[in-house]
Structure 1
Amino acid sequence: MPPAVNHTMSAPEWAMLLCLSVLWGGSFFFTQVALEALPPVTLVTLRVGLAALILNAVVPLSGLAMPRGARVWSAFLGMGLLNNAVPFCLIVWGQTHIASGLAAILNATTPLFTVVAAHFLTADERMTGSRMAGGLVGLAGVAVMVGPAVLAGLGADLLAQVAVLGAALSYACAGLFGRRFRRMGIPPLATAAGQVSASTLILVPIALVVDRPWTLPMPGAAVVGAVVGIAALSTALAYVLYFRILATAGATNLLLVTFLIPVSAILLGAVVLGERLDPRHIVGMALIGCGLAAIDGRLRAFGRTRRRLPPEIQGRDI
């Protein structure tokens, strides 16, 4: 059965979404470290290739079998292209030209692209005024959190900015495309393994031609650790959560994670590295929270509940 129309997420779905935001928030740190020694396409290839090895080892240990057949693997190839090969390369290349804060703001347009695309391409994730407003409020929250300084670079390095926006659009299309795997009866773990395996098949020949990785110097321990971290945590584990959320909550709710990634990164910096939280961070988090609630449908549901209450208690706290 498909997710309900404009599905309101449950507490376990929110918990998985928050965990996914932490895993993907860490990918920016891993990427920054790894780019010191590895070119973008090679880094992306290592990321999905190691994740494929991990997940293909875990699938049989979990008592599952990888699906076979041209129809399934053509779907994996499409998902790998839209969700890994294209956006990973665009974002990693974009990060070599623009600040990571600006990249985070541009990447946070993903829910807006998803709301619009889902309205025209699905029957159960229709656009509403609250969803579009929530997307804009959430995007404003990301901009406030990251700070106005990064917006000074808006307009410079235009091609890099268009690349990150293209990645956001690709992620939105992938979220909608990936809905088919539940209908095909493929478990999230096997779907994640198939996606990164297909992505590896796409990227390996490109990396061999573009980067000639055998000519690169051997990377240091920090770079190796960053590659393992981004593959095992930010890719393998992250995509198992991704497909679990997609199967139950839908694409629009799933891709709210792009609003939460900057929140996770800033809170991790405060807790782990002792970085200071500024007032703009608190304001930005509040805006993001309002945007998430609007897109998720909680504000709309709360309004309906208030209207159904008897007039004599509508003004009381509930």
Structure 2
Amino acid sequence: MRAKDQTIDAATWWRLIVLSILWGGSFFFAGLALRELPPLVIVCARVVLGALMLVPVLLWSGLSLPRCLRGWAPFAMMGLLNNVLPMSLIVYGQTTISSGLASVLNATTPLFTVLVLAMSGDEPLSRRRLAGVVCGAAGVAVLQAPALLGGDAAPGVLLCLGAALSYGLSGLWAKRRMTGVPPLVAANGQLLASSIVMLAFACIVEQPWTLPMPSPATWLALLGLGSLSTAIGYILFFQIIERSGPSNVMLVTLLVPITAILLGRSVLGEGVTPHQIAGAAIIATALAIIDGRLVERISHIRIR
């Protein structure tokens, strides 16, 4: 993978926009599925369906997966950090908070990514990026003021923030260990590894065979999670990493809340509070500071 961490071309921006719609929809689909299914079953269905849809594409493309157990180690860790942990934490979080709020909390992922890459020494923490991190932390505090002061939403908030940290760690792992791996192979490998883990967890913890048969709406939600948000989404995810690096791909989470909140409000009937809007605006400002391009353009206009 060639990491062009400081530039995003027009084709990559289009991929980011499409990916934000697909991943924004994942919060909506999970919110629908949670009405009838427990969290681990939903995550399991998501990664298994995603893997089943991508394997034929991989075979048709002529690419191949590792043939030895050692070759699967990078995919297993990527699946843990990018699928198993964050997806499970987010869906569990959505049992106490709305899909829109979960997506806004997910927008802190670039903040964690910047910190993780800086602490690992992979990318320096500039003053601009440090200011963005501080601004983002303030946005989260404003966003979750009622929960932080004590409320039923506090556990869901912490779970979703833990998911954002896991995504940040996955960006570091992708940069270090997935370099040179074709996007389709990377997406297949992590989903197949995740499927094995999630099948075991779901069967042990939630015993899906004892649950009532889901309604058609739930099946459609699971299909949307597996095909759109996962199979297609992760191909785009690894394409963006290949073209522009892990820091830039995480900026997609700035766009995700727009889709998730609109879907949650229009279909699930979820409300949006003033402090959530204010917090989201501060987080958006933080991400713009971290990205740097908007700040540079404004400075250039002032100089002229």
Q: What interval of TM-score do these two structures reach, taking the shorter chain for normalisation? A: 0.7 to 0.9
In the alignment, what sits opposite 2:146? 152
- Note if contact 2:109-2:168 (Cα within 8 Å) is conserved in structure 1: yes
Q: How does 1:191-230 map to 2 (within 5 A)?
A: 191-230=186-225
User: CA offset at residue 20 of structure 1?
Assistant: 0.9
User: What per-residue deviation string (whole Å, max 9, x for no partner) do you get for residues 95-146 of structure 1?
Assistant: 11233344333322211111111012243x32222223334556777888xx
Label 1:86 to 1:106 Cα distance change in 2 as closer, same or farther (>3 A): same
In the alignment, the residues of structure 2 paired with residue 209 and residue 296 of structure 1 have an alpha-carbon distance, to the nearest angstrom, of: 42
- Note if contact 1:263-1:285 (Cα within 8 Å) is conserved in structure 2: no
User: CA offset at residue 63 of structure 1?
Assistant: 2.8
- Note if contact 1:21-1:264 (Cα within 8 Å) is conserved in structure 2: yes
In the alignment, what sits opposite 1:40? 39
In the alignment, what sits opposite 1:77? 76
Partner amino acid, structure 2, of 1:38? L
Partner amino acid, structure 1, of 2:32? V
Identity among equivalent pairs (%): 48
In the alignment, the residues of structure 1 paired with residue 201 and residue 77 of structure 2 have an alpha-carbon distance, to the nearest angstrom, of: 17
Label 1:20 to 1:136 Cα distance change in 2 as closer, same or farther (>3 A): farther
Label 1:18 to 1:139 Cα distance change in 2 as closer, same or farther (>3 A): farther
In the alignment, what sits opposite 2:66? 67
Larger radius of gyration: 1
User: CA offset at residue 287 of structure 1?
Assistant: 5.8
Partner amino acid, structure 2, of 1:3? A
Partner amino acid, structure 1, of 2:239? R
In the alignment, the residues of structure 1 paired with residue 196 and residue 188 of structure 2 have an alpha-carbon distance, to the nearest angstrom, of: 12
In the alignment, what sits opposite 1:243? 238
In the alignment, what sits opposite 1:121? 120
| RMSD of Structure 2 on Structure 1 (CA) | 3.2
Q: Secondary structure at the match of 2:253?
A: helix
- Note if contact 1:114-1:172 (Cα within 8 Å) is conserved in structure 2: yes
Label 1:18 to 1:270 Cα distance change in 2 as closer, same or farther (>3 A): farther
- Note if contact 1:142-1:262 (Cα within 8 Å) is conserved in structure 2: no
Q: TM-score, normalised by structure 2?
A: 0.85
- Note if contact 1:137-1:287 (Cα within 8 Å) is conserved in structure 2: yes
In the alignment, what sits opposite 2:227? 232
In the alignment, the residues of structure 2 paired with residue 160 and residue 285 of structure 1 have an alpha-carbon distance, to the nearest angstrom, of: 17
Label 1:78 to 1:52 Cα distance change in 2 as closer, same or farther (>3 A): same
- Note if contact 1:108-1:142 (Cα within 8 Å) is conserved in structure 2: no
Is 1:7 the counterpart of 2:9 in the alignment?
A: no
In the alignment, the residues of structure 1 paired with residue 35 and residue 273 of structure 2 have an alpha-carbon distance, to the nearest angstrom, of: 29
Partner amino acid, structure 2, of 1:129? R
Number of residue pairs aligned between Structure 1 and Structure 2: 301
Structure 2, gaps ≥5 residues long: none
User: CA offset at residue 281 of structure 1?
Assistant: 9.8
Label 1:139 to 1:62 Cα distance change in 2 as closer, same or farther (>3 A): farther
Partner amino acid, structure 2, of 1:227? L
In the alignment, the residues of structure 1 paired with residue 139 and residue 29 of structure 2 have an alpha-carbon distance, to the nearest angstrom, of: 24
Q: Secondary structure at the match of 2:21?
A: helix
- Note if contact 1:130-1:300 (Cα within 8 Å) is conserved in structure 2: no
Label 1:44 to 1:282 Cα distance change in 2 as closer, same or farther (>3 A): closer
Label 1:42 to 1:279 Cα distance change in 2 as closer, same or farther (>3 A): closer
- Note if contact 1:142-1:259 (Cα within 8 Å) is conserved in structure 2: no
In the alignment, what sits opposite 2:162? 166
Partner amino acid, structure 2, of 1:224? W
User: CA offset at residue 279 of structure 1?
Assistant: 10
Q: Secondary structure at the match of 1:91?
A: helix
